[in-house]
Chains A and B, each alone.
Chain A
Amino acid sequence: MKRAALILLVASIAAWAADDAGFVIEHATIHPVTAPDIPDGSVLVKDGKIVAVGAHVNARGARRIDGKGLHVYPGMINSATDLGLSEIAAVRETNDTNELGEFDPQLQALVAVNPASEHIPVTRVNGVTSAITLPATETGPEMIAGQAALIHLDGWTWEQMDIQPDAAMEIIFPTLRAPRRPFFAAPGAPAPFRETQRAYDEKIRRLKDFFEQARRYETAKKGPEAGLERHLRYEAMIPVLDGKTPVLIVAQREREMKAALAFAREEKVKVILAGCQELGKLGPEIKTAGASVILGPTLAMPLEEDMPYDQAYALPNEFYKAGILFALGTFPGEVEHEARNLPYQASMAAAFGLPKDEALRAVTINAAKIWGVADKLGSIETGKVADLILTDGDPLETRTSVKKVFIAGREVDMTTRQTELYELYRKRP
């Protein structure tokens, strides 16, 4: 184990060494996503940025990487994970999500990220170069879970992984569903709906009340009075109230989504709906609200036993047809350690109606737009961060293999826990 770690370390250092004069990928098919494909093109990268893209690129002095027969895509963005926060779901000590308490806006997922997580290499060798990591992954008493971070899937420390520390404020919206009875409960009549309704109304009231408190704090802070006691909780809410940081509202069913939209409208905050599992009649309303949506996982069962078998597969196309901006995430909690399967989640949507290029956009440029980093990530354009993958085909195809991954211009090591184990047991006589 120690030796393996040492090998990994040495390999990583080698990979870390930056190319001073940059590097160029030549004779590859370039898929910029935001522009037409370039059949025999080059991408020049210097200082972690894309310096030039095109059929002919002046790359004097740069290290040359032959891309003949290969394809260059922007690195994919997984818009919902718990990467770096959860290692083994069943081992409590390795989980750093789901803080207690109802209102924790001051929590930052970024600072809790474990850069040495085994899931990070496993995910990035599939072509995922950045991810949103969420402070909470399951519904509980929590309502404001904390700040979701957009991170690069490479770095020695969380500071190096940081792209956007406050990509969104995660809110787990109260649900109006009667609590599912714990399996150990004695048989008997379930709680009447009006009690569920009352508990729900109370939760919404407390949530709105918290926003109100935060708003008063902000006003007081701007005011002339001295000696305002500093509250990290309310402090963290200021960018949300100012409309700089969007709220990410986890709302699965139509009724909750509708309530979440109403809430965002009343509180005048920017909203991203996440984990939506149906669209229902909400298409126009979401569009009017200007809300964007994080969908996934698509590889899932229908919500109810008599819904069409492809309900989850076809959902992204429904949102696309409704003209709603959406991105895909793998959502921890639904399936564990699915972050690496993001491309296949996207391809399932493509197999069930979503145009193929839209499926790709949902894991690249559209995600970048939603997270406010479209100027940096999500496509192969001059001036953008060099998050690139070199593949032997369409990255959404399971048969495709990713040959090289570049994160911010650094070529990352393709060794993962899985390849280590593969090598280890291959040696067994």
Chain B
Amino acid sequence: MTRLLMWFFAPALALAGVPSLIAIRGAHVVPVSGPDMAQATVVVRDGVIEAVGPNVAIPQGAWVIDGQGLTVYPGFVDALDDAGIPAARPAAPAGPPPGAGAAPAPPPARGPEDRPATESWLRAADLVRPDGPHVHELRSAGFTTAVSFPMQGIVAGQGAVIDLGGERAGDMVVDTPAAEYITTQTHGFGGYPGSLMGVIAYIRQLYLDAGYYKTVRTAYDQHQAGAPRPAYDRAIEGVLEPPRILLPAARLVEIDRMMRFGKELGRKTVLYGMAEGYRAGDLLKGANVGVLVNLKWPEAERDGDPNAYVTLRTLEVRRNAPSTAAVLQKAGVPFAFYSGGLTTRTALVRAMKRALDAGLSRAGAVRAMTIEPAAIYGVADRLGTIETGKIANLTVTDGDWFEEKTKVKFVLVDGKKYEPEPEMPPPAANGRGRAPEVAK
């Protein structure tokens, strides 16, 4: 029914004539690429920033927005998320006929050749939907972009840089594949790999296999006739595509381990987590790895046992984790923030405040949500600053984004204006069918 309605309204939305030429006049602009501008104008045409500066002429026919009292940031980027990817995956087309009972569980993996917990071929770009989870929430919090990943399994799939707007899934994708998302989750009972060492050995084997596969495949493609045919392996096809890998690294020992592991695998490495990153300033300094800091700082479980024993180590990490950003900034280690499942602006601002209180500069915080994630994912030429030629993703607030009382007035995503929705408790299971709010 909803889908039917959407068919009706889609042409109507297109006919509504959203202005493709917008000028925000006289606003406080934070271009990130240079110093703040007190009274500046930003001109956006066809989803691209056409001009920015204090003395920019407003082109004929532009829809002018009075920027008095407004602050314009480059659109914020959530550097790691699963935004837009529906939780339930579409069913596989080749299933048992209906009524044949539950599909038999696949046999447990016995070794790396069974490619356990691997879906490296999944592409976020193929899975995202404009009405997918968290898209509206993140946009309402001031985010225009997310780097979204399938997140299940050990080698979970390929992420994409997506804009949090658009009418069709295809409108969202800025860059794909962005990276391969890797975890060290053990596989559970009875399946390989069941231990951390098993998981690491498996990932190592997979990437070794990938190197060999590439060689054999290239040789075969040159002389196909008469040569033995190498088997097609979608798991390897999947890991060969993305230009970089994401490795989990929360504790210091994991940061150290995963830095070495990434180097060993010969892939551009991005580490995510960083709860104990406050101890890793020296380690990460000058290391050629991307760093993603989880804004959801470790804390006591809300529903946990109130009298449970908490070890000193846990308490220490809980207390110091928010200082990671300040430590990294001081050490000169570039890093990006990711929401870690926080979706409301209130929650994000509070989490950010703890990083600021620990010594992170506001400029550094803005960079960690704009240009740094763009640089880590290789899209700094198109995202992350307010400069001529960049994608017109802008976050517009009525003050400093880091103040709790500040409100996001609107965001531009690919030059289209979206207004924030009020913060709501998590919606019910079927509550994600709302159409995007397009400016009238």
Contact = CB atoms under 8 A, between A and B. Distances in A.
Interface stretch (A81-89, A126-134, A188-196, A347-355): A188-196
Interface stretch (A158-166, A177-185, A240-248, A308-316): A177-185
B11 interface: no
A63 interface: no
A304 B306 contact: no
Given A183-B189, A185-B188, A186-B188, A255 B309 contact: no
A305 B188 contact: no
Interface residues of B, number: 15
B313 interface: yes
Interface string A130-164: 00000000000000000000000000000000000
B307 A255 contact: yes
B185 A187 contact: yes
A194 B303 CA distance: 7
B221 interface: no
Nearest to A177: B305
A176 B313 CA distance: 23
B301 interface: yes
A189 B301 CA distance: 9
B313 A306 contact: yes
A131 to B, nearest CB: 32
Interface string B5-29: 0000000000000000000000000
B301 A190 contact: yes
Interface in B287-310: 301, 303-309
B88 interface: no
A177 B309 CA distance: 11
A255 B309 CA distance: 11
A79 B185 CA distance: 43
Contacts of A185: 188-189
Contacts of B425: none
Contacts of B304: 178, 190, 192-193
A25 B28 CA distance: 101
B106 interface: no
A397 B62 CA distance: 94
A192 B303 contact: yes
A305 B305 contact: no
Contact of A184 (B189, B307, B308): B189
Contact of A178 (B189, B305, B313): B305
A178 B301 CA distance: 12
A236 to B, nearest CB: 34
B61 interface: no
Nearest to B315: A306
B99 to A, nearest CB: 27
Contacts of B307: 255
Contacts, number: 35
A306 B188 contact: no
B166 to A, nearest CB: 32
Nearest to A254: B307
Nearest to A193: B305
A194 to B, nearest CB: 7
B60 interface: no
Interface in B301-344: 301, 303-309, 311-313
B190 interface: yes
Interface string B164-189: 00000000000000000000010011
Most A CB contacts (10 A, CB to CB) among B301, B306, B309, B311 go to: B309
B305 to A, nearest CB: 5
Main secondary structure of the interface of B (DSSP, over half): loop
Contact of B309 (A182, A189, A194, A304): A304
A280 to B, nearest CB: 11
A192 B312 CA distance: 23
A193 B309 contact: no
A95 B105 CA distance: 35
Contact of B190 (A184, A190, A194): A184
A334 B10 CA distance: 67
A305 B311 contact: yes
Nearest to A183: B189
A187 B186 CA distance: 9
Nearest to B190: A184
Given A187-B185, A304-B311, A306-B312, A196 B190 contact: no
B305 A176 contact: yes
Given A183-B189, A184-B189, A185-B188, A306 B311 contact: yes
B108 to A, nearest CB: 11
Contacts of A186: 188
Most B CB contacts (10 A, CB to CB) among A184, A185, A190 go to: A184
A193 B303 CA distance: 5
A184 B188 contact: yes
Contacts of B305: 176-178, 193, 196
A179 to B, nearest CB: 11
Contacts of A194: 303
B242 to A, nearest CB: 24
Contact of A193 (B188, B189, B306, B311): B306
A349 to B, nearest CB: 23
A280 B312 CA distance: 18
Contacts of A187: 185
Contacts of A193: 301, 303-306
Contacts of A184: 188-190
A9 to B, nearest CB: 47
Interface string A168-211: 00000000111000111111011011101000000000000000
Contacts of B308: 177
Contacts of A196: 305
Interface string B110-141: 00000000000000000000000000000000
A174 to B, nearest CB: 14
Contacts of B190: 184
Contacts of A305: 311, 313
A210 B145 CA distance: 61
Contacts of A192: 303-304
A187 B312 CA distance: 25
Most B CB contacts (10 A, CB to CB) among A189, A194, A306 go to: A306
Contacts of A189: 303
B107 to A, nearest CB: 16
B215 to A, nearest CB: 36
Contacts of B309: 303-304
A381 to B, nearest CB: 45
Contacts of B301: 190, 193
Contacts of B306: 193
A303 B303 CA distance: 23
Interface string B186-207: 0011100000000000000000
Interface string A42-84: 0000000000000000000000000000000000000000000
A306 B312 CA distance: 6
Nearest to B316: A306
Interface string A373-389: 00000000000000000
16 contacts: A176-B305, A177-B305, A182-B189, A184-B190, A185-B189, A187-B185, A190-B304, A193-B301, A193-B303, A193-B305, A194-B303, A255-B307, A303-B309, A304-B311, A306-B311, A306-B312
List of 7 A-B pairs having minimum Cβ-Cβ separation, nearest first: A184-B189, A192-B303, A306-B312, A193-B305, A306-B311, A193-B303, A305-B311
Given A178-B304, A183-B189, 8 more contacts: A177-B305, A184-B188, A184-B190, A185-B189, A193-B303, A193-B304, A196-B305, A304-B311
Interface of B: 185, 188-190, 301, 303-309, 311-313
Interface of A: 176-178, 182-187, 189-190, 192-194, 196, 255, 303-306
